[in-house]
A and B are shown apart, each in its own frame.
Chain A
Amino acid sequence: MKNKFVLGFVMISFVVMLSSCAKVPQAELDALTAAIEDARAAGADVFLPVEFAALQDSMNAINTMVEEQKGKLFGNFKAVSGKIAELTATATTVKDNVEARKVEVKDEIDNLMVEVSTLVGEAKGLVAKAPRGKEGAAAVEAIKTEIGVVETAISEAAGKLESGDLMGTLDQLKAAKEKVTAITTELTDVIAKYKGR
């Protein structure tokens, strides 16, 4: 009887040994993958590239840990589960931060759009005031075409904004602002040069 009990125990132990591989936290892994994908879809790779790269590297590390445990005789996914939960929370935070950054960029775009349009209006006003004599007038004629290019840039930026390219819009408006500021300076110089002549 005693022998049978020992034999049964050994058999059960052996079966447990061979099939005792702990369960892969697949649901958590799927949730993590989805959270990272959500962050990417929100634009994390564009708005927070460093944070997004860190997420990807951590995801790779987790996948390695999972496979490492799967390959073991006695796999243990406890530590991995903790890391997965941690990274899922980070991915969600990154996504939230992206949304916050988007709002910031949109505000910056709105302000720049108004600012650049105002500057273009000012430049046009200066063109009207600019002198019509000698080189001054020739410079003013050239400046008019430059203002035209800035106006084109503003409408291109509006197109980019509509298509959702926030960073492209921002960069284009910043460049337009720099250009129209230079134009205004040039016009002010031309006006000053001929003042009192």
Chain B
Amino acid sequence: MAVIVLLLLAVSIYVYNRWPESPVLEMKAAGNTVALARDAGADKYAPDLFRETCKLYDSAMVYWKTENKRFFLNRDYQKTLSYARQTGETGMKAYEKARKKAGSVHHTTAETLAELEKIMEDFKQVYGSLPLPKKLRENFNQAAMIISEAKLAREKGDFHIAEAKLEKAEKMVMEAEKKARKMIDDYFVSLPQWTSMAEEAVNRSAAQHSTVVIVDKMARKCRIYKSGKQAAEFDAEFGPNWMTQKMRKGDQATPEGLYTIVQKKEKRRTIYYKALLINYPNNEDRIRYQRNIADGKVSARHDIGGSIEIHGHGGRGFDWTNGCVALSNKDMDVIFSMVSENTPVVIVGSVEPFEKYLKNAKKKQNGE
């Protein structure tokens, strides 16, 4: 009897000593690390590391459960311990990264927001009055909406959402900026030609004591020179597609080139108060038109167009003509009295580089 009791006692002691130690502390520590990382915003600011941490924790838990189902003598918690340790290490990395990012994202989003708002303002100032393609303008406005959303996200403390939205908006704004800049660069390729055309016309006016009309599309001005000196300057409006060279009838572009007034119209001869008909298309326009047809840029079905005038009913503040140059009726009265048939009309894209034009526009805006 005593032997049996002793045997049972020995078995009990053996069982007690061989009972494997459960990785409770390690698993509690791993769980705490997951919570710590999440509280620091690791799910937002270090999502990859946080996902990895959660996976490791789940694996540790699965192995723990599996081992607990086995007979106690066969239990081995090594894998559980290993995964618990990895959870702790990766979780701390996620925590550190998130803490660092959360601390900086508050400032970086504020900076990016301010930068983007400045770029948007500059964009409006620089390109606001230019006939940008509709799609480009829509993208720009879409970016403005996304910036508003980012602002709201910041106010709510969702800095990671604000950051993502600002990143998207920045891309869109930069793309719009790039395309608009390219459009300007392409437009100004002809600047040397334009300036020499305008200079020659003014010099001729000086040499011959004659009158010449110079239309500067970028500056939106129509200037009269008498004997090489500027005698008058008027605000002008053009067709909506004034930034392109006129190629055909109905393209709503204002032509560029050397022309002459072929007819002065008033009263019943024009519906635009008073008008100065110029000789568009001239020879150069015809040659270009034929070349464009040959190159497939213009369909042969399209006419080259005509009836380009400097006429009244302007002063509307936007580009509305079908390619003509529109002045206010008051200005038409003045120009009408200063020019005659055969007066040269030089229409150019600009007489100064874009940067200088911008500087002048800013000065004017600031009332300098």
Residue ranges of A at the interface with B (Cβ–Cβ < 8 Å): 3, 6-7, 10-11, 14, 17-18, 53, 56-57, 60-61, 63-64, 67-68, 70-73, 131-138, 141-142, 145-146, 148-150, 152-153, 171-172, 174-176, 178-179
Contact = CB atoms under 8 A, between A and B. Distances in A.
Contact of B57 (A60, A73, A135, A152): A60
A87 to B, nearest CB: 14
Contacts of B152: 171, 174-175, 178
A132 B1 contact: no
Given A57-B35, A60-B57, A146-B141, A72 B317 contact: no
23 contacts: A3-B1, A7-B1, A10-B5, A14-B12, A53-B39, A56-B38, A60-B34, A61-B31, A64-B24, A67-B64, A70-B22, A70-B68, A71-B68, A131-B317, A133-B315, A133-B316, A133-B317, A135-B317, A138-B129, A174-B149, A175-B149, A176-B145, A179-B148
Contacts of B146: 175
B137 interface: yes
Contact of A14 (B11, B64, B317): B11
Contacts of B153: 171
Given A18-B15, A137-B317, A145-B138, A7 B149 contact: no
Given A60-B57, A149-B145, A68 B24 contact: yes
B19 to A, nearest CB: 6
Contacts of A179: 144-145, 148
B141 A149 contact: yes
A67 B22 contact: yes
A64 B27 contact: yes
Contacts of B16: 73
Contacts of B138: 145, 148-149
Given A133-B317, A141-B318, A64 B65 contact: no
Given A64-B28, A67-B27, A172 B68 contact: no
B141 A138 contact: no
A175 B28 CA distance: 43
Given A67-B24, A142-B137, A150-B145, 14 more contacts: A14-B11, A17-B12, A53-B35, A68-B24, A73-B15, A133-B316, A135-B317, A136-B317, A137-B317, A137-B318, A145-B137, A145-B138, A175-B146, A175-B151
A11 B7 CA distance: 11
Q: Which of A3, A57, A172, A175 has the most CB of B within 10 A?
A: A175
Q: Which of B20, B68, B142, B235 has the most CB of A within 10 A?
A: B68
Nearest to A131: B317
A172 B24 contact: no
Nearest to B19: A73
Given A7-B1, A60-B57, A138 B128 contact: yes
A135 B148 CA distance: 26
Is chain A's binding surface mostly helix, strand, loop or mixed? helix
Contact of A60 (B15, B31, B129, B318): B31
Contacts of A138: 128-129, 317-318
Nearest to B152: A174
B119 interface: no
A67 B65 contact: yes
B38 A71 contact: no
Nearest to B153: A171
A12 to B, nearest CB: 11
A171 B156 CA distance: 10
Contact of A145 (B75, B129, B141): B141
A115 B114 CA distance: 28
Nearest to A182: B148
B61 A67 contact: yes
A10 B148 contact: no
- Closest A-B pairs by Cβ, 6 of them: A71-B22, A137-B317, A175-B148, A149-B141, A175-B149, A134-B317
B4 interface: yes
B356 interface: no
A137 B235 CA distance: 14
Given A3-B1, A138-B318, A171-B152, A145 B144 contact: no
B316 A137 contact: yes
Contacts of A146: 141, 144
Contacts of B24: 64, 67-68, 71
B68 A67 contact: yes
Nearest to A45: B43
B315 A68 contact: no
Contacts of A142: 124, 128, 137
Contacts of B134: 145
Interface string B58-98: 00010011001000000100000000000000000000000
Interface in B8-46: 8, 11-12, 15-16, 19-20, 22, 24, 27-28, 31, 34-35, 38-39
Contacts of B27: 64, 67-68
A153 B151 CA distance: 16
A116 B20 CA distance: 66
A11 B65 CA distance: 30
Nearest to B139: A149
